Chain A
Amino acid sequence: MEGEVVLLDFWPSMFGMRTRIALAEKQIKYEYREEDLRNKSALLLQMNPVHKKIPVLIHNGKPICESLIQVQYIDEVWNDRAPLLPPNPYQRATARFWADFVDKKIYDLGAKVWRTKGEEQEAAKKELIECLKLLEGQLGDNPYFGGKDFGFVDVALVPFYCWFYTYEKFGSFSIEAECPKLIAWAKRCMQKESVAKSLADQEKIYDFVLHLKKALGIEDEVAKETVRAAETAGFFRVVNFMDSAILYIKVKWGILSSSMVRSSCKVIALLEGHAHQRAQEVSKFRL
């Protein structure tokens, strides 16, 4: 009844982990395929032409993209076991709201904590803790966000637990000290085989990020130098928006843009051919 299930994924991705957990909860057999994000497979580009991102779930040859959409799909198709969303529409809307809150906040704030320094990092740490405390409030005295049972919001949030160690090391703070209830919840989830099997090892994540920071550090410096050179040559103007700063670099080849949106640093600068290529490298690591 299952058909053929394939998951295109990248081992440190907390988004991929959500789908792995859902598949494990439903005891679905599937083929896991590791993607090299610097060299994306033809299949990935074909199955997710719009975003070109992992995870991609392929069921009987048809792709489903976006992790929370995949989890809902899995829940609906394999609806005879381990339900993840509650049957009551109001409770479902509440679950979707909190999963969406996790999506809007946690990834970007966490990335800011490990990528930035000084005031920017402090502000990100503060806001991350505030968001985790809001989630603690929502958990209340329940064992899971789903109430008595592990559910949709638990799946959405628990993958970030294996990234907490990285946030804490780079941010020099303890999430457990600030949010003990949330860590207790995470450890409870880790006792489930579906979660323990799906999350990556936190030390491996930390090593991965260490290497990534080295690589990005070098690329960021080149991109920054390029932008500085353009500024000196009088080739750009800065337009500031409410919560994003957009740099437009107008050169003889046309207008190009560099946009810094929250924590994701995507600098596309074409002044010299090689600088463009290096700047493209920076943008590839957006998970």
Chain B
Amino acid sequence: MSMAGLVILDCWVSPFCMRVKIALNEKGLQYEARPEDLFGGKSDLLLNSNPIYKKVPVFLHDGKPLCESSIIVAYIDETWSSPPLHPPCSYGRAQARFWADYIDKKVFDACGNIWRSKGEVPVEAKTEFIEILKQLEGALGDKEYFNGATFGFVDIVAIPLTSWFFAVEKIGGFSVAAECPKFSSWMKRCLQRESVAKVMPDPEKVYESVLMFRKMQGID
């Protein structure tokens, strides 16, 4: 297989892989997404390209590997400058990095605290999840996107995680739209973008996968 060009070692249900694909789509770049079998057997290319974590996504630019989705998205923005995904000023970029870091630290784990619950989902897990989204609503403010008037870095970091929200809502018995309408509106706005819609999986399919993960982990 050719090592030239842009390749992503991928998994369709991984929100972290989705970030990279959305960024590439935003830049209008052609790339090859190679699916990895994360449970059956990771490819040698994956294990060699990401020996530290052995995880997807790995982005290969003419054979040179990059790991960690937020770092990959920043690399894509710095290498292909149009359209810009980061704010133009240093302070704006620091704020963007802060919220991307907050999302990375909080959202996926909070989802996990709900979908991994055995039996009844603790109220506190749901409360914590909603509080995180409300914090993000605060960061969004009256803007169209986290990045301002245009879709950008923080939007790309956040939107893929929402593909897991349907599963979290079903298992948790609550509605993001009811609790956080502003956040829900932002989600819909992003999903209208072709770069995002092309990449985001069917939430029902994600839910099926989550149920499968629960079985695999002995929760169900």
Q: What is the interface of chain A, defined by CB distance below 8 A to chain B?
A: 50, 59, 62, 64-66, 69-70, 72-73, 76-77, 89-90, 92-93, 96-97, 100-101, 134, 239, 241-242, 246, 248, 254-257
Contacts and interface: CB of A to CB of B under 8 A. Distances in A.
B79 interface: yes
A66 B99 CA distance: 10
B78 interface: yes
B32 to A, nearest CB: 19
B122 to A, nearest CB: 5
B55 interface: no
A64 B75 CA distance: 22
20 contacts: A50-B135, A59-B91, A69-B94, A70-B94, A72-B94, A72-B97, A73-B90, A73-B93, A73-B94, A89-B75, A89-B78, A90-B66, A92-B78, A93-B75, A100-B68, A101-B52, A134-B52, A248-B122, A255-B122, A257-B124
Given A62-B91, A66-B101, A97-B68, 19 more contacts: A50-B135, A59-B91, A65-B98, A66-B97, A69-B101, A90-B64, A90-B75, A92-B78, A97-B66, A97-B67, A100-B68, A101-B52, A134-B52, A239-B117, A242-B116, A242-B217, A248-B124, A256-B124, A257-B122
Nearest to A248: B122
Interface of B: 52, 61, 64, 66-68, 71-72, 74-75, 78-79, 90-91, 93-94, 97-98, 101-102, 112-113, 116-118, 122-125, 135, 217
Nearest to B126: A255
Contacts of B66: 90, 93, 97
Contacts of B102: 50
A93 B60 CA distance: 12
Contacts of B118: 239
A206 B97 CA distance: 33
Nearest to B102: A50
A171 to B, nearest CB: 23
A65 B217 CA distance: 36
A69 B97 contact: yes
A90 B98 contact: no
Q: Which of A59, A76, A97 neighbours the largest number of chain B CB atoms within 10 Å of its CB?
A: A97
Interface of B is mostly: helix
B90 A76 contact: yes
A248 B91 CA distance: 40
Contact of B74 (A50, A62, A96, A241): A96
Q: Which of B66, B94, B101, B122 neighbours the largest number of chain A CB atoms within 10 Å of its CB?
A: B94
Contacts of A90: 61, 64, 66, 75
Given A62-B91, A76-B90, A93 B72 contact: yes
Given A97-B71, A254-B123, A64 B91 contact: yes
B71 A64 contact: no
A67 B78 CA distance: 22
B50 to A, nearest CB: 10
A72 B66 CA distance: 19
A92 B75 contact: yes
Contacts of A242: 116, 217
A50 B61 CA distance: 36
B91 A241 contact: no
B9 to A, nearest CB: 16
Contact of A76 (B93, B125, B217): B93
Contacts of A101: 52
Nearest to B217: A242
Nearest to A92: B78
A253 to B, nearest CB: 12
A110 B188 CA distance: 43
A97 to B, nearest CB: 6
Contacts of B97: 66, 69, 72
